[in-house]
Each structure stands twice: as C-alpha cells, then as structure tokens.
Structure 1
Amino acid sequence: MSRLAPSARIDLHVHSTHSDGTESPAQVVGRAREAGLDVVALTDHDAVSGWEEADRAGRERGVAVVPGLELSCSAAGASVHLLGYFVDPTHPALLEELGRIRGSRDDRLRRMVDRLAEAGFPVSWEEVLGQASAGASLGRPHIADVLVLRGRYPDRDAAFADVLHSSSRFHVAHIAPDPRRAVELVRSAGGAAVLAHPFAAARGRGVPRELLGDLVEAGLAGIEVDHRDHDGAGRELARRLASRHGLLPTGSSDYHGSGKPNRLGEHTTQPRVLSALLERTGGQLLGASP
C-alpha cells in the first residue's frame, strides 16, 4: 500500500455516467484534480464498470482512485444505502446480485415511464436510454433528465419532489437487497462496507438504530458522518455511533456532476480512515500513487 500523506484530501463517494452522474469516470477524475483532491472513490450504483476508465484517468491526472460501488438496500420500509470499497469485481455472488438488481431497475424504470407517458408527461423509454451511457445502471435521475430537457421541470430536484418521489402514484419499487445480506456480500467479495448518509432526513425515514446494530454484527466497517444531507444533529449522532461501535467515520460529497448541487471535496475523509480500509481489505488503489 502506498503511504497516504497526512494532508491528503480524500472524497469517498462520487458517481459517474455509469449510474446517475452526468460526467464520465474520466471527467470525474479530472474534476477531482481541479478540486484539489488527491484521492477519489468511484461509487456508482450497482456498477463497477467505470473502474477501468477511472484508473486510466487517475494515472494521467495524478489522482488515486478507490474502486467502489453503492448498493441500494431496503429494510423495514427504510431505504438503506451501502458503500462497498475494494470488492473483487469478478466475485460470482456479487456479480449475480448486481445483475439481479440492475435487471429489476430496468423493468421498474420502464413501468414508470409507461405510467408517466399515459398521464401525458413528455417522456419515452428511448429518450430515457438516451440520457444514460451504454451499460449504465439506470435510475429515476435518467427520467428526471428527460423531463428537464423537455421543459417540464427546471432541474432533477424539482422532478424528484413531484412525480419521481417515492410516494408518487407513478412510483414503482425495484428489488433492493436486505442490508445485512449486502454487508455480508461485500465482505465475501473481499471489500469493506460503509453505511451511507444514514440520517439524511430529506431522503425520508432514517436508518433504524436497531438495524445499525445488526449491520455491525454482520461486519459493517464504517459510517458516513460528514455528508451534505446530514444536519448538525445527524452528524453528531453518526459520530457518536461510530465511536460506540468502533466504526470508521467517513466524509464525502456524493458528487453527481450537474445532477446535484453537491461539489467535489465539500466533505472529505481523513487519511487514517482510508489507510484502515486498505489494511482491513488488503485492497489496492487505482490511478496514481497518492
């Protein structure tokens, strides 16, 4: 493992066009360099397909890249997001689960598009596909982008506050694994699991406290503390729980390009935390040496 400088600036949660970001992995890495980051983690939803491009860009731009992904899970009616770092991208059980989730995502999205079109909204399946890169993990943001392009909403947030909200009559659920199983899956693939933005009130119901205990027992490695969607109380709670359960506290931007107002490096992770993740997994950074 390359030694991380104490001053290294690290952002452990960003998205590209391989899921619902608006920039390619290479563009994201370039933006990370411009933002003064030394290390960035590519964590696309249910996808590892952007790692190779990010690796090449990192070597060219002098940025180290953490290979990661984000799994959308569900438990007791709560949406739970799990970040997995340094997993083996060829692990059979992981690939099978990602394929199952992505297939469900595609079917769910097509049904939502049909419902919206029947109600008179200017959107078609072909247009949604046109908003995503080839092989991308599809999601509601791709529908939002079509509705914004057609002038129905000013931005993604406005579309999500209305027809794309989880309580909307147009909403269709997709397969979401139990987070305990997801933690075990990440670990079996050689990676480390970190709970993402668990107390983001604007996203709906927060992660139940009792579930956190179950995730710790399953092998959870860390918890995202510093995140735009956590208010002061949420950050303090996450920090206390990290200390109580021996979890690694991370910080990140959850950058999506122009899809969200989040800015690269607006929250960062301490080098000692990334070092601990590397030691725990035996993982290797992609891109340049930090």
Structure 2
Amino acid sequence: MIDLHTHTTVSDGTVTPKELIYQAKETGLLAVAITDHDSIDGLDEAQHEADRLGVTFINGIEFSATFGKNRLIHILGLGIDPQSEGFKRIYTNYRQNRSDRLLQVFKKLRSMGVAIGPEDVEPFVTGGYMDRQAIAKCLVAKGLAKSVRNSWINYLDKIDYINGELIQPEAAFSAIHAAGGKAFLAHYHLKIGFKGYSEENTRMLLKKLKELGLDGMECYYPSFSEEEKLRCAEYIEDFDFIKSGGTDFHGANRSHIKLGVGEGDFNVPDELLDEILAEKEIKL
C-alpha cells in the first residue's frame, strides 16, 4: 500500500512532515510521497524521519498551473531531486513571482473588509517566500476563517490569480523533468482539473499536455466515481500515460480522508512505484 499525494503544514495540511512519516509507518505504508502545494520546504524533514523509521519516501510537489481561461490544473511532480540546478532555477523564479504579486491580493482583501498586510502574514511564511497559503493560515489565526479551507472558500478563491502568479504547465514539466522526476495530472475530475469540459475538449487538452511533457495521470483518487475511474483508465491507455494515485491527505482539514486508505476502502497498488521511479532522461 502506497500514498503518492499528501499534504503537510508546509502547505494546507495539519500534520508536520515528520508527523506524516510517523503516520505512514504506523499505517504500514510501503512508500509515501509528500506533495505540498508549490513548495518543497518539508522534504528534508520528511526524509530525515523516513530514514530513521525505515519508510520509503518519495520527494514530491504539487504545482498550481494556469491552463485555460480562468482555469488552473494541479501537476504532481514525483521522484524529484529538489537540489538539481535546473529545478531550483525554475522553482525559485516561480516562488518569487508569486510573492511579488501578493500586494494585489492584499488590496483585494481590503476591498472585502479584511485589513491584513504582509507584516501580519510574515509569521506564517515557510521557505522564505510569501504566498496565498500563508495568507490563508493568517486568516485562521486572526479568527477570520474557521479553517484553511474556509479561508480559500470565503476569500482567496474569490480573488482571481494575477498574471504571472501561477506557473505555466511547460515550466512545471521542465522543472520536474530537470529534477529527474515525472509529472502527473492530479484529480482530473475536479474544477481544479477538467470538470465541466466536454469529452472532446478534455481529450484535446490532454493531447496538448502530453505534447508539453505530461507523463501521466492520477488514476487512483478517493472521490472518483465508477464512471470517472473508467474514463481515466481510457485516457491513460489512449495517451500512453503512466499511472499514479494517492489520497490527497490533508490531516484534520479533510478529516474523512485517512492516510493511505482514504475513507477506508481505498488503496493504491504498490506496483505503480516501479514505473514512476524508473530512470528518466534529465532535460536541463
């Protein structure tokens, strides 16, 4: 049993990277990946604990990429080396661009009656770059939202992304491949994905992503319906994609989802690891 899609306190989860590895050990997972949103800041801590406990740990990230008018997709990078120069160059530039554009986000928040600024958010920053995740945590701490999820629903999701705040898919693919990893489309069935698109448009967009560098799709996900499972399997076969999967674990922020098992009857087959971790040509 493996879980290749999880989140920690570095992004919008409620357990630390160290705690997540401990839970993986207690759950009996063969392997676990941490894929925090747009951040690699918990990977070293997780690797140290994984080495101590004898857990197979997969370095990961979940990029938020713009794709389509007022739409975004999430791209999982699995098996990455975050210290590779090609990855660090793209990643650092992306994080800086996001941080530079937050003044417009603060301005929009003030128009919504939320008077916070960078000085309020600074204590919630991880990795040296301020982002919307840090703002979400600040809103909770100030009692303006009940949870990080509510911060997004009530405030941040209502503020359009500013040009340059999100990474382009091709840049995300380049970063992941430069780090020796593979890139997967996460939860294709959600609005942060292809929900609402026709079958024809979905296939057209998958073809484009494949041409840009997409390696695979998340074909195991707790909230897939039977129809969505079948459609995903067809896409994977038709586009010769690699399979991945995970629970999208967020700790108490999604309390119905348990690490490794989703809502209790979910599992990702161990054999997916072989192809995910197989060597890939590094493109700088």
Alignment TM class, shorter chain as reference: 0.7 to 0.9
2:30 is aligned to 38
Equivalenced residue count is 270
1:62 is aligned to 54
2:82 is aligned to 89
Give unmatched runs, 5+ long, in structure 1: 1-8, 284-290
Q: Which moved more, 1:223-232 or 1:90-99?
A: 223-232
- Aligned CA-pair RMSD: 2.7
Amino acid at match of 1:81: H
TM-score (norm 2): 0.82
Aligned equivalents of 1:29 and 1:140: distance in 2? 25
The answer to whether residue 137 in structure 2 is matched with residue 145 in structure 1 is yes
The alpha-carbon deviation at position 40 of structure 1 amounts to 0.6
Is the 1:18–1:137 Cα contact (8 Å) retained in structure 2?
no
The alpha-carbon deviation at position 138 of structure 1 amounts to 4.5
1:108 is aligned to 101
The percent of aligned pairs where both chains have the same amino acid is 29
In the TM superposition, what whole-angstrom CA distance separates every residue of 1:174-223 from its partner, at most 9, and x where no partner exists?
Answer: 5323323432442233221111112214x475473212112223443221
2:155 is aligned to 163
1:199 is aligned to 189
Is the 2:12–2:148 Cα contact (8 Å) retained in structure 1?
no
The alpha-carbon deviation at position 131 of structure 1 amounts to 2.8
Give unmatched runs, 5+ long, in structure 2: none
Work out which structure has the larger RCO, using CA pairs closer than 8 Å and 6 or more positions apart in sequence: 1
The alpha-carbon deviation at position 99 of structure 1 amounts to 1.1
1:176 is aligned to 166
Post-superposition, which runs of at least 4 consecutive aligned residues in structure 1 deviate over 6 A? none
Give the 5 Å matches for 1:101-140.
Answer: 101-117=94-110, 119-121=112-114, 123-133=116-126, 135=127, 138-140=130-132
The alpha-carbon deviation at position 20 of structure 1 amounts to 3.2
TM-score (norm 1): 0.81
Is the 1:48–1:69 Cα contact (8 Å) retained in structure 2?
yes
Is the 1:250–1:270 Cα contact (8 Å) retained in structure 2?
no
Aligned equivalents of 1:33 and 1:116: distance in 2? 41
In structure 2, relative to structure 1, the CA distance for the partners of 1:186 and 1:157 (3 Å cut) is: closer
Aligned equivalents of 2:99 and 2:187: distance in 1? 25
Match for 2:210 among 206, 209, 216?
A: 216
Aligned equivalents of 1:64 and 1:176: distance in 2? 31
Give the SS at the match of 1:213.
helix
1:272 is aligned to 271
In the TM superposition, what whole-angstrom CA distance separates every residue of 1:236-282 from its partner, at most 9, and x where no partner exists?
Answer: 22122112222222221122233333431114431211111122449
Q: Which moved more, 1:138-147 or 1:92-101?
A: 138-147
In structure 2, relative to structure 1, the CA distance for the partners of 1:189 and 1:150 (3 Å cut) is: closer
In structure 2, relative to structure 1, the CA distance for the partners of 1:210 and 1:69 (3 Å cut) is: same
In structure 2, relative to structure 1, the CA distance for the partners of 1:89 and 1:145 (3 Å cut) is: closer
